[in-house]
Amino acid sequence: MPELPEVETIRRDLQQRILSKTIKSVRINDPFVLRTPSKHFISSLEHQSIKAVERRGKALLIELSNSKYLQVQLMMTGQLVIDGAPDKHSHVVISFKDGTKLLYNDQRKFGQLRILKSLSESKHISSLGPEPFGKDFSADYILKKTRHSKRPIKNLLLDHTFVAGIGNIYACEILFRCGINPKHLSGKITQAQSEKIYQNSIAVLSEAIKNRGSSMRNYRDASGEQGQFKRLIKVYAREDQPCLKCKNLIQRIVQAGRSTFYCPKCQK
DNA sequence: AGGTCGACCTGGCAGC
DNA sequence: TGCTGCCAGGTCGACC
C-alpha cells in the first residue's frame, strides 16, 4: 500500500516515539503475517530495546539492541499504529515497558513481518536499486539505465531494482509533471527527459513527505492520521476528470497489470 | 534474461 | 436489501 513518502512518514514518527524503548511482550493474533516462526519472532523481540528505525525503499527496518532487525513490508493495507485501539485487523501487538503499544494492522494480510540477522539476509532488500534521495540516483543514472530498455517508462519507474520506493501513485504523478507519456519507451528517453524525471521524482517525493503522504484508501501514519498529499495529486485516480493544466479528460489505461492515469494532451 | 501475469486476501463500491 | 463483479498503494514465483 504505502509508497516511499508514507513509509518515511511512519519511520519518522516511530523514530520519535519508540526509539530506545524496551519491548516487554509481543502478542501474535494471526501468524499468517509472519515470515519468521512465531516462537523465534517473539524471542528475538522480547526484552530488546529499539536502537534505530530505518527505511530502504518501502521496507521499514527496526534495529534492535541484539543487532537483529524487524523488517516490515506494509504492502497494500499494512499499518503500524502507536497506542491505537486494537481491532480485528490487529495481527501483532508489541508492548513496551513504559506501556506504549505498537499495533501491526493489515486488512488484506498481504504485509509481512520478519526477523533479519543482517540486512544482506533479505533477498528483497539486496535487490533494491538506489534510493531516490541517495547519491547514486541522478539524471545520468536514469539515462544509462533506460538506454537499452524496451519497456514503457512507467513500468521502469515501478521496478524497484531500477529505483527503490516509487509505487503506482507517485509514478503517475512524476510522469505528469514531466509531461512524458507513460507509454513512452524507456530506450527513447533523452538527456533532457532524464533530467526532468530526476528533478520531478525528487520534487514529488519531497512534497509528499512534507505532507505526510497520500491517503487514498487505507494509509494511516503511526498516529492513525491520514496524509495530506492527496489534495496535491494531479492525475492519480482522476479518470474522466478534467486535466488541471489543459482541461482535457484524464485517461486510465492498464500497464503491466496496474492502472495508469495520465493526460494524453499534456503527456506526449 | 528480461518482462509480464496471476496469485496472495479482504472489503468497498457500483450496478442490477 | 442483497447479490455479483470489479477494483485496490506491493511483491513473488511461474511462465513466455
pLDDT of residue A22: 98
- For strand C, the positions having any atom within 7 A of a protein Cβ are 7-12
Angle, helices A191-210 vs A168-178, to 10°: value is 130
**pLDDT beneath 70: ranges in chain A:** 1
pLDDT of residue A63: 97
Judge whether residue A110 contacts strand B, using its CB and a 7 Å cut-off: yes
Question: Which positions of A are annotated as active-site residues?
Answer: 2-3, 58, 258
* Length A89 CA → B13 C1' (Å): 21
- For strand B, the positions having any atom within 7 A of a protein Cβ are 2-11
pLDDT of residue A1: 56
Of A residues 110-169, those with CB within 7 angstroms of nucleic strand C are 110, 123-124, 127, 158, 160, 167-169
In degrees rounded to 5, what are phi and psi of residue A94? -105, 120
pLDDT of residue A230: 86
pLDDT of residue A205: 95
pLDDT of residue A48: 98
Q: What is the pTM of this model?
A: 0.96
* Length A252 CA → C7 C1' (Å): 13
Q: Which residue has the cell 538506489?
A: A130
* Length A106 CA → C1 C1' (Å): 29
Judge whether residue A259 contacts strand C, using its CB and a 7 Å cut-off: yes
pLDDT of residue A216: 79
Q: How far is CA A13 from CA A59, A179, A225, in A?
A: 15, 34, 11
Closest by CA to A35, choosing from A111, A86, A126, A118, is A111
Q: At A215, which amino acid appears?
A: S
